[in-house]
Amino acid sequence: MRVRLALHAVVLGLFLVPVLSAQDAVKVDSEHYTVITDNAEVRVLRVHYGAHEKSIMHSHPDSVAIFLTDASIEFTVPGGKKESRTVKAGDAQFAPAGTHLPENTGDKGMDLILVELKGKSAMAKSDMK
């Protein structure tokens, strides 16, 4: 019984390590992420990946990505599931808070502006009334 419990704990720990170790993209991958501005409401990042470059597992709060170039991207989330996307220059996409490992799967560099949201959406909704 103790061996089975210990085995379950080890397996659970292996799945949680990527989530627990996921950190701020700027701190863990400053090669690809640069802060443009940071205030109480938003943090704006300039993001650049060369062809076929890959990041490491990291997290973002709710964000809006504005793509400056056409790109093919693959996101790996904790647990190993992968999602591929193709975007066009000028596309803008909302992304809920989460943890991922992005990779530029294209043959050209990828550039985007990432606006990380800091404000509370509930407060914003009540201000609109």
State the total domains in the chain.
1
Q: Which two tokens stand for residue 48?
A: 């650049």
> In 3D, which of 122, 62, 64 has the Cα closest to residue 93?
64
Is 108 domain-assigned?
A: yes
Q: Which two tokens stand for residue 20?
A: 């627990």
Is 49 domain-assigned?
A: yes
50: domain CATH number is 2.60.120.10
Contact present, 58 and 23 (Cβ < 8 Å): yes
**Dist. CA 57–CA 62, nearest whole Å:** 16
Average pLDDT, the chain: 85
CA distances from 84 to 9, 35, 102, 109 (A): 32, 26, 10, 16
Q: What is the pTM of this model?
A: 0.76
The tens digit of pLDDT for each residue in 85-114 reads 999 999 999 999 999 999 999 999 999 999
pLDDT attached to residue 68? 98
pLDDT attached to residue 19? 44
| Domain hosting residue 30, numbered range | 2-118
Is 129 domain-assigned?
A: no
The tens digit of pLDDT for each residue in 21-39 reads 469 999 999 999 999 999 9
Find where tokens 């809920």 sit.
Answer: 96
10 Å Cβ neighbour count for 129? 4
**Neighbouring-strand partners of residue 98:** 60
Sheet holding 82-87, edge to edge: 23-24, 58-60, 98-104, 71-76, 82-87
Contact present, 73 and 104 (Cβ < 8 Å): yes
Is 9 domain-assigned?
A: yes
State CA 61 to chain mean position distance. Answer: 8
